[in-house]
Amino acid sequence: MSQGIISQEVNGRQEPSGTSGEEGLRRRVAIVGAGLVGSLAALNFARMGNRVDLYEYREDIRQALVVQGRSINLALSQRGRKALAAVGLEQKVLATAIPMRGRMLHDVRGNTSVVLYDPTTNQCLYSVGRRQLNEVLLDACDKLPNIRCHFEHKLTSANLKEGSMEFRRPGVEEAIAANADLIVGCDGAFSSVRQQLVRLPGFNYSQEYIETGYLELCIPSKAGDFQMPANYLHIWPRISFMMIALPNQDKSFTVTLSMPFEVFAQIQNQNDLLDFFKLNFQDALPLIGEQQLIKDFFKTRPQHLVSIKCRPYHYADKALILGDAAHAMVPYYGQGMNAGMEDVTLLTGILAQQLPLDEALAEFTESRWRDAFAICDLAMYNYLEMRDLTKRWSFRFRKWLDTLLFRLFPGWIPLYNSVSFSSMPYSQCIANRKWQDQLLKRVYGVTLFSLLMGGSAVYAKRFF
């Protein structure tokens, strides 16, 4: 069996081990993907004393004029905050983040109502920019001497058993060869590292595209200020589709329109689009601006959303996948980033036990896959809640009841609170909700029975 990953601390700072005969214990870790999870994983592996090579197929985001891929703002919650705190970056990120204390719901007439996330303790989510957060993590990587960043390196092939890889760079004909003791795939939902794992016997994989696509729009700032209240996640629920908006540091809102592809297909021209918004999002239309809406809507096609489940997340002591590479989910619970960062927290804790590496990676898979499956399912459910259930009186009543019981009985933790404001395992969050549902059904049943019996007694006394 291979040895565990070694760390050494010098003067209160994590330094690479490898001196005085320890060179053989120091590992070469190659992390593919320098996004949020990849750069965080690089920090943790380096702080444990390993030599880390961080590869990214795009250019350095800090120098990029235009960032490719999704720019959907992120909702940072407890799990992500915990991971950032572990590497000393939480307060730096929160200093520029925008707190969101609840959902502000917009009906078709433009009326609004607020549903707070946590009226009892005033906990909130934080809107953070994907690019800004990535830059903070990469700057932290640059400060560690045992992390080397390689941008514009696209992984084209890998032999996980041998720990060998080949990368291509723009304008360079010859492939760039690299080797590592451990290859870590943090390269997103369409992970190249996971493609190698799929080829190995015993690897289970499934993916599901939902019938909903999304487009990004923008509500710009006006006179240097927000056009809507800033400290909320704004939602326009419309039963089969919805629109959401998150605040940005520049006083704008990133707007995401989520609809079935067949609804998108019905909007063929400018008049169709404006009529659709006047009917469904009349209060948002003047905020976006008609010409800006037309420009943003027709400049690209609706993007697909995929949910991916797989296991195991490792191969022997040679390879591992984290974040979206291991469990891509639809974005409607705001847990994609948080779950990926929690992967790193959990993995770091297991590696700290100094187990043989193959045992440590196996323990990570076993302790994580159920919770990863659970949050993928919860993300699917929350899309239904956001686009439809938030409008219903039954949802409002359950929210009120959960808040009341949470105040009276601290052990009663509502589902959303347990997911977003605690580190309770995701599968336990679901189990906790099922237990609460069963208890409330019994209480409802006893209450209804008592009312019926009481009414029958009054009726009998009055007429017999």
DSSP 317: T
Query: Which pLDDT score, from 0 to 100, does residue 437 have?
Result: 84
Nearest residue to 150 via CA among 136, 162, 168? 168
Query: Which pLDDT score, from 0 to 100, does residue 14 have?
Result: 41
Give residue 282's Cα distance to chain centre: 30
DSSP 144: S
Concatenating the DSSP letter of every residue in 256-284 gives EEEEEHHHHHT--SHHHHHHHHHHH-TTT
Peptide bond into 312 cis (omega under 30): yes
Query: Which pLDDT score, from 0 to 100, does residue 292 have?
Result: 97
- The rounded distance, in Å, linking the Cα atoms of 271 and 405 is 49
Query: Which pLDDT score, from 0 to 100, does residue 2 have?
Result: 43
- The rounded distance, in Å, linking the Cα atoms of 452 and 457 is 9
Is residue 32 within a helix (H) or strand (E), and if so which, with residue range?
strand 28-32
Region class of 122: left (phi > 0), else alpha (psi between -120 and 50), else beta:
left
The pair of three-digit structure tokens given for residue 1, joined into one six-digit string: 């069996």
For 88-211, strand residue ranges (E) read: 98-100, 102-106, 112-116, 125-128, 147-151, 154-159, 164-168, 176-179, 182-185, 204-209
Q: pTM for this one? A: 0.88
Query: Which pLDDT score, from 0 to 100, does residue 204 have?
Result: 97
Residues 354, 7, 181, 57, CA torsion sign: positive
Query: Which pLDDT score, from 0 to 100, does residue 404 have?
Result: 85
Tokens 């991916």 map to which residue? 308
- Check if the beta carbon of residue 312 is closer than 8 Å to that of residue 247: no
Query: Which pLDDT score, from 0 to 100, does residue 390 have?
Result: 60
Concatenating the DSSP letter of every residue in 207-245 gives EEE-SEEEEEEEE--BTTB-SS-SSSEEEEE-SS-EEEE
For the chain, the domains span 8-98+127-208+307-382, 212-298, 393-463
Is residue 55 within a helix (H) or strand (E), and if so which, with residue range?
strand 51-56
Is residue 31 within a helix (H) or strand (E), and if so which, with residue range?
strand 28-32
Q: Hey, what amino acid is at 385?
A: E
Query: Which pLDDT score, from 0 to 100, does residue 462 have?
Result: 52
- Check if the beta carbon of residue 354 is closer than 8 Å to that of residue 408: no
Query: Which pLDDT score, from 0 to 100, does residue 402 have?
Result: 81
Residue-wise pLDDT tens for the chain (464 aa)? 444 443 333 333 344 433 333 343 579 999 999 999 999 999 999 999 999 999 999 999 999 876 554 555 799 999 999 999 999 999 999 999 999 999 999 999 999 999 898 887 789 999 999 999 999 999 999 999 999 999 999 999 999 999 999 999 999 989 999 999 999 999 999 999 999 999 999 999 999 999 999 999 999 999 999 999 999 999 999 988 999 999 999 999 999 999 999 999 999 999 999 999 999 999 999 999 999 999 999 999 999 999 999 999 999 999 999 999 999 999 889 999 999 999 999 999 999 999 999 999 999 999 999 999 999 999 988 777 666 666 677 777 877 888 888 888 878 889 999 999 999 999 999 999 888 888 888 876 555 445 444 544 444 455 44
- Check if the beta carbon of residue 248 is closer than 8 Å to that of residue 228: no
The angle, 0 to 180 degrees and rounded to 10, between the axes of the packed helices 270-280 and 290-298 is 120
- What is the CATH code of the structural domain delimited by 8-98+127-208+307-382? 3.50.50.60
